[in-house]
Amino acid sequence: MRLGEAIRLELHDVDLRESLLNVRGTKFGKSRLVPIHASTRTVLARYRARRLRFPTCRASTFFINSNGNRLERGEIHRTFYKLSRQIGLRGATASRGPRIHDFRHRFAVETLLRWYRDGEDVERRLPVLSTYLGHVHINDTYWYLSACPRLMGLAVERLERRWEARP
| Active-site amino acid positions | 2, 27, 101, 104, 135, 144
Query: Among candidates 49, 74, 48, 84, which has minimal Cα distance to 63?
Result: 48
Residue type, 66: S
- Taking alpha carbons only, the member of 62, 75, 59, 54 closest to residue 15 is 62
**Helix and strand numbers, DSSP H then E, in the chain:** 7, 3
Q: Is residue 54 helix, strand or coil?
A: coil
Q: What angle do CA 49, 52, 56 make, to 5 degrees?
A: 145
